[in-house]
Structure 1
Amino acid sequence: MERTSKLGFFVLLPLFFLASCHFSSVMAKRSNYVVHMDKSVMPKAFLSHHEWYSSILDSIQSTSFNTHIYTYDTVLHGFSALLTDQELEFLKKSPGFLTAYRDRPAEMHTTHTPDFLSLNPNSGLWPASNFGEDVIVGVIDSGVWPENPSFKDDGMTKIPSRWKGTCEAGQEFNSSLCNLKLIGARNFNKGFIAEHPNITIDMNSTRDTLGHGTHTSSTIGGNYVEGASFFGYAAGTARGIAPRARLAMYKVGSSQGVALSDILAGMDQAVADGVDIISISMAIPFSPPIYEDPISIGSFGAMEKGILVSSSAGNSGPGLGTLNNGFPWLMTVGAGNMDRWFGGTVTLGNGMDILGWSIYPVSTIVDDLPLIYNKTLSGCNSSVLLSAANGIVICDDPEMYYHGYIVSNSSVPGIIFFSDDSSMFDEGEFNFQGVAIPAKYKEAVLNYAVNDVKPTATIRFNQTFTGTKPAPAVADFSSRGPSPVYPNILKPDIFAPGALVLASWIPNAPIEAIGDRDFFSGFNILSGTSMSCPHASGIAALLKGAHPEWSPSAIRSAMMTTADTLDNTGKPIKDIGTNYNVASPLAMGAGHVNPNSALDPGLIYDATLQDYINLLCSMNLTHSQISSITRTTSYDCSSPSSDINYPSFIALYENGDTKMLSKTFKRTVTNVGNGAAKYQANVVAPKSSIIEISPSELSFQNRLETQVYYLTIKYQGDTNYTVSFGSLSWVEVGGKHNVKSPIVVSPVGFQNA
């Protein structure tokens, strides 16, 4: 952001007092602040808000260096600047000042998935959206490696004329590196530099040095790349979820860090440039209030412009209440596994074959070597002892994976250990020549190793298995709701593939180090809600292409009400973080996203800008706090309501309160089917609750007709104070649509639930 000046126009202070303030401010420590302003009170003497903000700063500061960092004008009205505590106090007296808060660091959350999601080139959402052609997705991330083949523009058409963005040149990044696929690239690091003035930026351009942004953006809309793999694992043709969508990268961080003010600048510019969807796989730690969180503020402004923001839920699961980005006006995405597994095969000398887990990157076979099991070696805690072993060692330690570096630093030919904890493999890192096999085989393997006269084994790596069950299941790392910033809206909204996802990578960052050898690849396998978010973003882009008239709320509604709640065994989706118990909506939201069903949801729950303002008005926020989000002081708070038209329901009760709770929700559904339709309510009530629906039948005569219904939760009390859940489905009579919404009853003290 920047600034301007017409000294003394708005700060009526004695000149001698200003002078003393100036002198002390030069000596005092400065911090970066994000400042929200009421743009409507800008004096007419100024030609622009940028000039006005600069004038304000000039009037309260006397310094030889420019402290103005960014000017915001799309998703936020205001600026960021380096200020002393004293200067901040003077700023607060300026006309138009709303609020200010310190800049904060942020954190980033990581191709078979199109097949797993049943995307088909001949039917469904892909052809209906022309594979996302001309939909523009703005990615807020760590940058991009434009030479990766995922960003080639083969088969792409002319850039839409509505695009206002640019390809910004910088260090090792020429503007000619953008093309018909990667149509925009901008770099935002002024806020981070302001907070760390002595730092040397490792790459002062949009070029990605972390790999995160390259991975997420290629997942969203990467072009077709034949022969992609991770050292032979997951081999095939890589492509993004929306392979004909346009990508614009807004780099807001690197391995050195991310600043709140830079995220705001990136989102502000993305909206101004004309993107259709924003994807952001990062969050502010410790969940600041919604009026100080840049993703909250930026996504509200984007929503107002008709842009859906898709965000990651975070990787702090499986505890409840750990979720990030739980704002009502964006889409919050959790993570799950898919039906693909990477591994190796252990063949014992007696002919027994056992499939296990491994992603050891070396293409090799550990062939017909002695199988060793003894107490001296079974702990596998000494690289010296392991190096002396001339065979495949059995490690009787279920935590072997977590100290695999001991094995990697030895010269042992191979390792076998036993584990059923699939979560340990979610990182996709495996730097030792070993394989984990299910614990059910332990007795047979040990019996053979101990009792056979000459036990041997062979290990074959670089194997990929599909069709594994159960899938999908919620990943244990995926953060859970309720949302700490606003628990009255059920979050996350949905979940999507986020475990062991193959996507593009940067070529100069080693993926794995084994001994003194580094391994590099143009593709990497990562896990995290950083990986699930771009899947949902890509699907949102496809829906925007198929239904350009749909609002952000309509797109999110279609994805939620058509989400799958059953896995590939036909049973309720499980939660890995709770030992494969049935997943709660606090873990999976409405379910696992189903792109083709979302194309034709039957009914949608839509919401307007005023609906979200009514929600803000019900939150006990101050005038300035609401204005910080809405970017205006003239918002209408005449009808405050916490009951927004959302496709899910959550009722909270005080932990320890056994009195009956009754809560009624009003919902409006819009018929987006082909014509007349009738729907009947089908309710699965949460435990200890009674659900009432009025009316229980909805009749529509025309497309785009709306109907209102009421849902009442009557919770009878439960001395266990646990989370209970059920669902409401509007089932089309004689038709195909089943419009499903989750229902949750949860203690307010969810950390004890």
Structure 2
Amino acid sequence: MRPSDTGKPPYVAKIEGIEADSRNNVKVRVRWYYRPEEALGGRRQFHGAKELFLSDHYDVQSAHTIEGKCTVHSFKNYTKLENVGAEDYYCRFEYKAATGGFTPDRVAVYCKCEMPYNPDDLMVQCEGCKDWYHPACVGMTIEEAKKLDHFVCSECGSDDDIKRSQNGFSSSPAADGKAISNLCDYLVVYVAMLEERSVYLVLMEGEPVAFHDPRKLELNSEISQAHAKRLLDSHDQLLQTTLEIGSYRKLYSFKHIVNGFAVHITPSQAEKLKGAPGVKMVERDRGAKLMTTYTPQFLGLPQGVWTQEGGDKNAGEGIVIGFVDTGINPLHPSFANDPLNPFTSNVSHFSGACETGPRFPPSSCNGKIVSARFFSAGAQAVATLTPMDFLSPVDAVGHGSHVASTAAGNAGVPVVTNGFYYGQASGMAPRARIAVYKAVYPTVGTMTDVVAAMDQAIMDGVDILTLSVGPDEPPEDTLTFLSVFDVFMLFAQRAGVFVVQAAGNNGPALSTVVSYSPWAVGVAACSTDRNFPGSLLFGNGQKVGGEGLSAPTFRGGLFLHKLVLAQDAVKANGTFPRSPQCIEECQCPESLDPNVVLGSIVICTFSAGFYNDTSTITSIINTARALGFKGFALVANPNYGDFIAEPVAFSVSGIMIPKVADAQIISHYYEQQIHRDKRGFVTDIRARAAIGEGRVAAFGGRAPLVSRFSSRGPDFIDINKNLADVLKPDILAPGHQIWAAWSPISALDPLLTGYNFALLSGTSMATPHVVGIAALIKQLNPLWTPSTISSALSTTATKYDNYGELVLAEGYDINSFYPSTHFDLGAGLVNPIHAIDPGLVFTSGDHSFHLKINNIIHLLTSCMKCNPEAEFEDYISFLCSLPNINPTTIKIATGQQCNQPLSHPANLNLPSVTISALRGSLKVQRSVKNVGSKPETYLCSVISPNGTIVNLSPTWFAIAPQGTQNIDIQFRVTQARDVFSFGEIVLTGSLNHIVRIPLSILPVSVS
């Protein structure tokens, strides 16, 4: 295939398939061969000129790039060729591009130098030991070797015995070498090849493009482009002078919001980079993990914020949301462009691109989807991607489509699954535009690809950045606030982008959040008041409840069907799997008697296989289909206790009974309706049952409830979980049982393959709710900065449920609840109706600021008295005030000096106060700003946390529009405690604004 650089030799690839896309462009699926110089270790002495490695790197190319046909021979056949033509190559190794490994990893070696055979080299054979030698290794020139008649090596005879009669390479040594040795011993990276390679993120000294010129930023200017090239060249120069060429692979250069790069190297090479001049930080890539039809109504949007913004046909207009995720399903109606309702907003501040590829033609970027890119260098470095990973922005997982449609999907999209209409879906901001940055694949996700996507998204000009992906553990050797990922988010905030991040799915244990930093909003997950109740009805009139989005079994006139326990339906004869997993858990259709289960409702048991992830509901459904079950009931095993059941759309009638008490009711009824012989075998079954309708939603339950899986605070600053003076999570949003778009090509869960919608739970699902609401706030208040939006969301949130009581949180035990604290729900449940008009906000800075991205000037006027750059400086002051912090550490990570550290980390002007170790007394200050259009008077009240007394000054104040007010908060310990206690400050305005400030205090000592 033709390379873009005509000075390079043609690339060689093995054709795996040929197909035409929707526009009849012929595409070729290929598997690349690598030349030795393209592999880790580079070209070595034993590599022949025509040698290639068959790699695990798959790709899709246009047919016009094919230059011609060549032949890649096996090594053995190549050595037998009498005439080697220009199109003849050979391959003796397969090469794993992710690790630099070879298959086979052992090869025959020859000569005193113990080198693998190079067919381009002349060698002579000893008539005694039959080993082959390079002439130079036995003290001869090539010309002398060609004149030999006989040759005996020094070990097989004396010099007097050497006879010369024939040249020494009449046959190939490829088949009969004297020894076997590890191939890695002959590569330039001898030690490195024995080390496990990883991807490392490297931050460099020097300002990135976005901040190198304080006056303005124009990406297309000659100055910016020249600066970007200088940064890229400096990255390459550093690697070339620090590491041996061929022993590393650079994956990305970061030039836009941070200065750095990603590289695939060994730990020892990473240590070398740490000591190199200009390097600030080197961090191992920890990997990236993935963290509605009803939620708009639950949050009051149709009658609230949407009404103020002109209804769902205008809500979010003009806002571009960036989604760093698994891509998007471009064919989904949630992302369709409506020609009857064309976009009227100007999004010229955004400048993206539409990268095409498999299943993602140019038409995918349709106006609703304004940009789509994909980032895969990190993924390809650490794993072998499959054809199902799709090197294009298309979503092969489903997660990215789900997140994007929750935040910004079109309004009024019918949700139909298995032929049943569940209602209409809408995003929070249905008129917002979508910019896609695919960085996570079905096979793998890396932080390298995630931060590369973030870097690009910021410079494309997104207004809001969505991160429902991220690391699932704290950094190993730096502060949580100073990981490369968090530094990227800090500089995104500096660029004026509002960043929203999933809090994590590791609850309900304390300090499990993976959102650490105050400059990104961490979102916790909760339920809504909607559920999908199912039921199993018995012939005696009894009924038990359960879960399962399933059609009833009483269609077609017959109400009740035979109910049979899977253990009582085992085949009487024959050879078949007899394990409890196969039989009790209904995993193996060959184990059950078709005559017994046909047309029956079969009781399967949730036992060991489900707890160790070897049994699946998919296998139950496959068994049911194969044997003709009328339906199935998956019931709890009393030996294991209750299990957690989430409603899943079953393609056959089914129900999950997660409570042991209900399972025992089923067992009691069943045993009364059967007859067993003396051996315990069932001889007669009179048990009858029906599965009720499970697809119709019910409303009115207590909500919200903080979900069990949602990660909890308190926040911490390092891997040892030393506590931080920052509240995490920040906010609570619906993330349990959320209907949203899906990708039918997804193989993430076989139960969802082929579906366009999925009902999912996770903080990944909660995050886009906050993102969409932030878009609505930004639409109404385009000059608000990230911290202003964050403050509006926080101070207007509620910690009370729909019963008017304190929100409850799910505990460790199933069906256990406890009163929530700020470490469960942050400030509370997001309240969009009040967030667009918060009254007061917490901001930073006191001067106007111009930020020009893609030729658009965002003017933050002095009347707002806040700007991203001043907020950034406040965050630096916060970092510099951390306990026992070395200012050099801050300088290394951020490039900023510690000129004005805060007197205490709790003095960062956040809409909350968290003190992780209060000794005696402490005065904390806050500053609020009136963003309303009228003067207002506020009364200040406080609910002091247990063990403390809190005094406020002033106790009331009057504030003009755009005016500011300082508040002194004096804390004093009255009783030491070993756990946090919680309270709040409430500012009640004369115009009905209510501003709540959460307090989370650990009173350590009274003095």
TM-score range normalised by the length of the shorter chain: 0.7 to 0.9
Partner AA of 2:512 in structure 1? T
Please give the alpha-carbon distance, in whole angstroms, between the structure 1 residues aligned to 2:522 and 2:230.
36
Aligned to 2:819: 582
Please give the alpha-carbon distance, in whole angstroms, between the structure 1 residues aligned to 2:810 and 2:546.
18
Q: Relative to structure 1, is the Cα distance of residues 365 and 711 closer, same or farther in structure 2, using a 3 angstrom cutoff?
A: farther
Q: Relative to structure 1, is the Cα distance of residues 182 and 731 closer, same or farther in structure 2, using a 3 angstrom cutoff?
A: same
Please give the alpha-carbon distance, in whole angstroms, between the structure 2 residues aligned to 1:495 and 1:243.
21
Give the deviation of 1:50 after TM superposition: 1.4
Q: Which runs of 5+ in 1 are unaligned?
A: 1-22, 655-659, 749-753
Aligned to 2:202: 35
Q: Relative to structure 1, is the Cα distance of residues 647 and 430 closer, same or farther in structure 2, using a 3 angstrom cutoff?
A: farther
Mapped contact 2:585–2:607 kept (Cα < 8 A):
no
Please give the alpha-carbon distance, in whole angstroms, between the structure 2 residues aligned to 1:170 and 1:396.
45
Q: Relative to structure 1, is the Cα distance of residues 214 and 86 closer, same or farther in structure 2, using a 3 angstrom cutoff?
A: same
Partner AA of 2:908 in structure 1? I
Q: Relative to structure 1, is the Cα distance of residues 418 and 574 closer, same or farther in structure 2, using a 3 angstrom cutoff?
A: farther
Please give the alpha-carbon distance, in whole angstroms, between the structure 1 residues aligned to 2:458 and 2:228.
25
What per-residue deviation string (whole Å, max 9, x for no partner) do you get for residues 686-718 of structure 1?
A: 333322222221221x11111111223334336
Match of 1:726 among 957, 978, 983: 983
Aligned to 2:913: 649
1:157 counterpart = 2:343: yes
Aligned to 1:709: 967
Please give the alpha-carbon distance, in whole angstroms, between the structure 2 residues aligned to 1:148 and 1:118.
26
Moved more, 736-745 or 424-433: 424-433
Q: Relative to structure 1, is the Cα distance of residues 40 and 270 closer, same or farther in structure 2, using a 3 angstrom cutoff?
A: closer
Q: Relative to structure 1, is the Cα distance of residues 183 and 191 closer, same or farther in structure 2, using a 3 angstrom cutoff?
A: same
What per-residue deviation string (whole Å, max 9, x for no partner) do you get for residues 341-383 of structure 1?
A: 1232444445566654212479975953357588976998253
Please give the alpha-carbon distance, in whole angstroms, between the structure 2 residues aligned to 1:511 and 1:34.
28
Mapped contact 2:320–2:432 kept (Cα < 8 A):
yes
Q: Relative to structure 1, is the Cα distance of residues 560 and 128 closer, same or farther in structure 2, using a 3 angstrom cutoff?
A: farther
Partner AA of 1:240 in structure 2? G
1:742 counterpart = 2:998: yes
Aligned to 2:156: none
State how 1:492-571 maps to structure 2 within 5 Å. Answer: 492-509=729-746, 513=750, 520-571=754-805
Partner AA of 1:272 in structure 2? M
Please give the alpha-carbon distance, in whole angstroms, between the structure 1 residues aligned to 2:643 and 2:929.
41
Partner AA of 2:309 in structure 1? P
Aligned to 1:316: 506
Match of 1:668 among 927, 931, 939: 927
Please give the alpha-carbon distance, in whole angstroms, between the structure 2 residues aligned to 1:273 and 1:375.
57
Give the deviation of 1:399 after TM superposition: 9.2
Aligned to 1:368: 559
1:52 counterpart = 2:239: no
Identity over aligned pairs, percent: 30
User: How many pairs does the alignment contain?
Assistant: 714
Mapped contact 1:101–1:292 kept (Cα < 8 A):
no
Please give the alpha-carbon distance, in whole angstroms, between the structure 2 residues aligned to 1:448 and 1:27.
68
Give the deviation of 1:661 after TM superposition: 4.6
Moved more, 613-622 or 559-568: 613-622
Partner AA of 1:381 in structure 2? E
Partner AA of 2:349 in structure 1? R
Partner AA of 1:555 in structure 2? I
State how 1:349-364 maps to structure 2 within 5 Å. Answer: 349=539, 356-360=546-550
Mapped contact 1:673–1:703 kept (Cα < 8 A):
yes
Mapped contact 1:679–1:731 kept (Cα < 8 A):
yes
Give the deviation of 1:122 after TM superposition: 6.7
Partner AA of 1:529 in structure 2? T
State the SS of the aligned residue for 2:692. strand
Q: Relative to structure 1, is the Cα distance of residues 257 and 396 closer, same or farther in structure 2, using a 3 angstrom cutoff?
A: closer
Please give the alpha-carbon distance, in whole angstroms, between the structure 2 residues aligned to 1:713 and 1:400.
53
Q: Relative to structure 1, is the Cα distance of residues 85 and 616 closer, same or farther in structure 2, using a 3 angstrom cutoff?
A: same
Aligned to 1:657: none
Q: Relative to structure 1, is the Cα distance of residues 142 and 345 closer, same or farther in structure 2, using a 3 angstrom cutoff?
A: same
Mapped contact 1:230–1:521 kept (Cα < 8 A):
yes
Q: Relative to structure 1, is the Cα distance of residues 25 and 602 closer, same or farther in structure 2, using a 3 angstrom cutoff?
A: same
Please give the alpha-carbon distance, in whole angstroms, between the structure 2 residues aligned to 1:557 and 1:163.
25
State how 1:4-403 maps to structure 2 within 5 Å. Answer: 28-29=192-193, 31-39=198-206, 48-64=230-246, 67-83=249-265, 88=270, 91-92=273-274, 94-109=276-291, 111-120=293-302, 127=309, 130-154=314-338, 155-157=341-343, 160-196=347-383, 202-231=389-418, 235-288=422-475, 289-290=479-480, 293-349=483-539, 356-360=546-550, 365=555, 367-369=558-560, 372=563, 381=584, 383=586, 384=591, 388=596, 391-392=600-601
Partner AA of 1:28 in structure 2? A
Give the deviation of 1:548 after TM superposition: 0.9
State the SS of the aligned residue for 2:287. coil
Q: Which runs of 5+ in 2 are unaligned?
A: 1-186, 213-225, 570-579, 675-685, 718-722, 845-870
State the SS of the aligned residue for 1:464. coil
Aligned to 1:425: 645
Q: Relative to structure 1, is the Cα distance of residues 415 and 683 closer, same or farther in structure 2, using a 3 angstrom cutoff?
A: farther
State the SS of the aligned residue for 2:693. strand
Give the deviation of 1:435 after TM superposition: 4.2
Q: Relative to structure 1, is the Cα distance of residues 747 and 502 closer, same or farther in structure 2, using a 3 angstrom cutoff?
A: farther
Q: Relative to structure 1, is the Cα distance of residues 464 and 260 closer, same or farther in structure 2, using a 3 angstrom cutoff?
A: same
Please give the alpha-carbon distance, in whole angstroms, between the structure 2 residues aligned to 1:363 and 1:208.
35
1:460 counterpart = 2:692: yes
**Greater C-alpha Rg:** 2
Q: Relative to structure 1, is the Cα distance of residues 375 and 664 closer, same or farther in structure 2, using a 3 angstrom cutoff?
A: farther
Moved more, 159-168 or 383-392: 383-392
Aligned to 1:600: 837
What per-residue deviation string (whole Å, max 9, x for no partner) do you get for residues 59-97 of structure 1?
A: 334425873321112331122223456655554555432
Please give the alpha-carbon distance, in whole angstroms, between the structure 2 residues aligned to 1:443 and 1:38.
66
Give the deviation of 1:181 after TM superposition: 0.8
Partner AA of 2:909 in structure 1? N
What per-residue deviation string (whole Å, max 9, x for no partner) do you get for residues 169-196 of structure 1?
A: 2333233321211111111111232344
Aligned to 2:952: 693
Give the deviation of 1:551 after TM superposition: 1.1
Aligned to 2:879: 616
Please give the alpha-carbon distance, in whole angstroms, between the structure 2 residues aligned to 1:192 and 1:443.
48
Say which structure, 1 or 2, has more relative contact order (CA 8 Å, 6+ apart).
1
Mapped contact 1:260–1:294 kept (Cα < 8 A):
no
Moved more, 528-537 or 684-693: 684-693
Please give the alpha-carbon distance, in whole angstroms, between the structure 1 residues aligned to 2:673 and 2:1002.
56
Match of 2:657 among 425, 436, 441: 436
Moved more, 66-75 or 124-133: 124-133
Partner AA of 2:523 in structure 1? V
Give the deviation of 1:278 after TM superposition: 0.2
Partner AA of 1:569 in structure 2? Y
